[in-house]
Structure 1
Amino acid sequence: MKTLRQYLPGDDVIQLVIRLGLLAFLIYWTFVLIRPFVPILTWSIVLAVALYPVFGALSGLLGGRPRLAATILTLINLGIVIGPATWLGLSALDGVREFAGGLGAGNLVVPTPPAAVKDWPLIGPQLYELWAQASNNIRSALREVAPHLKPLAGTLLALAGNAGVGTLKFLLSVLLAGFLFPYGSQLVAAGRGFLFRIVPEQSEHFLELAGATIRAVSQGVIGVAIIQSLLAGIGFKLAGVPSAGLLAFLVMLLTIVQIGAAIVLLPVIIWIWFDKDFTTALLLTLFLGIVGVLDNIVRPLVMGRGLTTPTLVIFVGVIGGTLAHGIVGLFIGPIILSLAWELTVAWIHADRVAAASSPADRRTLT
């Protein structure tokens, strides 16, 4: 086997090595410079792909004016981020700070059962006694483990402190997505050309699959979870539930990872029946009950196709994205990991089909 030195003179080899080294250094330095903007760019691309059908429909209604459609859609997105999302985020941060402060000071309190529980027929006295014992035991346990949980309090406070940066990243992503809308066809053509160089036979299929996966996860999982958490937060605020923003954030998180909001909603509904009159409790229960099943009704309508990504992949994406990129990573993590999963599965399936087909079948397909 001939070496590189046999093809090139010594001086040319040295020049080639120097040029490759400089190129590698420039690539590395470029990556270091743009690395802080990777989450913003990724989230803006996700928003552009997810909302591109809406942009196309709006552009058609406006008589084929893409720039005006992009401006209107961007203003609507900014209104959603600056308004309800910011309210939910600030309320959640207050709850996190309060919880972290109590955790660090070791004075977390567990509510005692209301006296009205004793008046319940049949099970009232037994339930009251059991609840009171559990409350006292949990308080004692929390006092013992509180010193060991102080590092967790610091982590929660640090996460709350970085939320402002996450909100700014959201705003920049929405603005950048607005600039990407009018150039959607050119970006699709560029993506098709890139995939053609990697997987020539499956480039069109992979491009469609990538777009469908991004829309399915962003609209059917992330979008529905945000809407559900906002509605739940409104219900919590109307009911006067303590730490309403934090509970609404937990609803969003549990909905994203496909666990469901019932874990949060059921205790809140029980608390409402203890604290409110019959009419108010009934109305709030009906409202929160509708919110609780909203994802099961809206998600299949929004997604357009069944999401085959396993729940574990979405869960890992949520945790890994949050650890890597903060609040923004909470949303783009499951989307990127779901996209990687779907493309990998499709690639393996295509290879298996190609390996199982006969040479004659391959000539027929080509």
Structure 2
Amino acid sequence: MNSPELQRNVFLFLLAIVTVAFLWILFPFFGAVMWAVALAILFTPLYKRLQKRMPGRRNLAALATLTICLVIVIIPLAMIAVSLVQEASLVTQRIRTGEINFGVYFQQILGALPRWLTNLLDRFGLGNVEGMLSRFGQGAAQTGQLIATQAVSIGQNTFDFLVSFALMMYLLYFLLRDGAELSKTVRHALPMARPHTHFLLNKFTTVIRATIKGNVAVAATQGALGGLAFWVLGVQGALLWAVLMAFLSLLPAVGAALIWLPVAVYFLATGAIWQGVSLTVFGVVVIGLVDNIMRPLLVGKDTQMPDYIVLMSTVGGMALFGVNGFVIGPVVAALFMATWDLFASSNDQDEAP
């Protein structure tokens, strides 16, 4: 009854139970833990440089890195969020006063369309202006109700957000300071061959670093360029649309076009030819070129994944995990490909004479 095999099985069962229990405890703060790990991986090179300049002062180097992270990443995001809320409130007020009327815009587009296209839309039930306006009004009402509900939810969850933010910063400090030792512990603890463990952990860190740097750089560039184009063309709420373009640009190839393309179509349909042509050319050549050049260089090159895998994993990850999915999706895809590569290579070695 007390054989070594039984003892090992009981110990493995206990190990699985306590591991699942620990992950269950951390699950309410999944986002905070994930972003702490991601930021630690992203800022570890900076921490190592500061540590070389501060020999024997690991705490001070970690604190300095944490401060730089606050200044570079978190404070600018907070300022953008505040400006976005103000801009969204202003646009909402203009919609209520009728200064911005999407129904009128839609009616203008339909009036500028050729007769054959209008007839085609009538066949599909899309040419009925009153019906479309009614649907748009219902959709706007539902959207407004959803936004109001989310605003109340955000207000109620402010304490939870502050707790998660404090936990993220606290964990980030210790991950920066003790990350190397923790990585060695994980490598020794995993029941895998050392080369496989080393390869998978390096793949994990490389994909996270490349995904965050690449996607954030592409999103910021496309959002800034799109917002600048809207501001030059006199589109109201340029900052709001810029942030939306930056967020949607996390979807490769099609993201930012979901914002600027309808505006270009409206310009062309209402007779503002040079504005529509300029925005179309700028969107296709400049904004599209940013996605086609920067994303493969910053994301696909380091992750060593095809563009279609990056696209599918990003969209699937965001569908399952929200904003966090643009990191989780490519990481899971990269580990999937790396694990199967290791499995195939081990089979080739077994079959070799």
Instruction: Report the TM range for the smaller structure's normalisation.
Output: 0.5 to 0.7
Q: Distance in 1 between matches of 2:170 and 2:264?
A: 39
**157-166 vs 248-257, which deviates more?**
157-166
SS in 2 for 1:256: coil
The reply on whether 1:110 has 2:106 as its aligned counterpart is no
Q: Which TM-score applies when normalising by structure 1?
A: 0.66
The reply on whether 1:185 has 2:180 as its aligned counterpart is yes
Alignment of 1:170-209 (within 5 A): 173-174=168-169, 176-195=171-190, 197-198=191-192, 200-209=194-203
Equivalent in the alignment of 1:352: 344
Deviation at 1:143, TM superposition (A): 0.9
Equivalent in the alignment of 1:54: 46
Distance verdict in 2 for CA 1:141–1:339, change over 3 Å = same
Distance verdict in 2 for CA 1:346–1:271, change over 3 Å = same
Partner amino acid for 2:214?
G
Equivalent in the alignment of 1:299: 295
Deviation at 1:193, TM superposition (A): 2.1
Deviation at 1:194, TM superposition (A): 3.5
Q: Which TM-score applies when normalising by structure 2?
A: 0.68
Q: Distance in 1 between matches of 2:288 and 2:166?
A: 29
Equivalent in the alignment of 1:325: none
SS in 2 for 1:354: helix
Task: Check the 8 A contact 1:94/1:243 in 2, yes or no.
Answer: no
2:81 to 74, 85, 89: 89
Task: Check the 8 A contact 1:59/1:69 in 2, yes or no.
Answer: yes
Alignment of 1:94-173 (within 5 A): 109-112=102-105, 137=128, 140-144=131-135, 146-147=137-138, 150-162=141-153, 165=158, 168=162, 169=164, 173=168
1:244 to 221, 238, 241: 238
Deviations 1:92-127 (A, max 9, x none): 446667669979xxx963344999x9xxxxxxx966
1:43 to 2, 14, 35: 35
The reply on whether 1:255 has 2:249 as its aligned counterpart is yes
Q: Distance in 2 between matches of 1:193 and 1:155?
A: 49
SS in 1 for 2:103: coil
Deviation at 1:55, TM superposition (A): 3.1
Q: Choose between structure 1 and 2 for higher RCO, CA contacts under 8 A separated by at least 6 residues.
A: 1
Q: Distance in 2 between matches of 1:148 and 1:286?
A: 30
Equivalent in the alignment of 1:312: 312
Equivalent in the alignment of 1:327: none
Q: Percent identity?
A: 22
Q: Distance in 1 between matches of 2:116 and 2:66?
A: 53
Deviation at 1:189, TM superposition (A): 0.9
Deviations 1:286-308 (A, max 9, x none): 79975554344443454452444
Task: Check the 8 A contact 1:220/1:302 in 2, yes or no.
Answer: yes
Q: Distance in 2 between matches of 1:43 and 1:99?
A: 32
Deviation at 1:217, TM superposition (A): 1.1
Distance verdict in 2 for CA 1:50–1:176, change over 3 Å = same
Deviations 1:50-87 (A, max 9, x none): 22223334444x35455444334333332345543234
Deviations 1:164-193 (A, max 9, x none): 759644575355324421222112212322
Q: Distance in 2 between matches of 1:85 and 1:217?
A: 18
Partner amino acid for 2:38?
V
5+ unaligned residues in a row in structure 1: which ranges? 1-6, 118-124, 323-329, 362-366
Distance verdict in 2 for CA 1:218–1:152, change over 3 Å = same
Deviations 1:206-259 (A, max 9, x none): 111111111121111234324543564466567653333442232123211112
Q: Distance in 2 between matches of 1:79 and 1:317?
A: 28
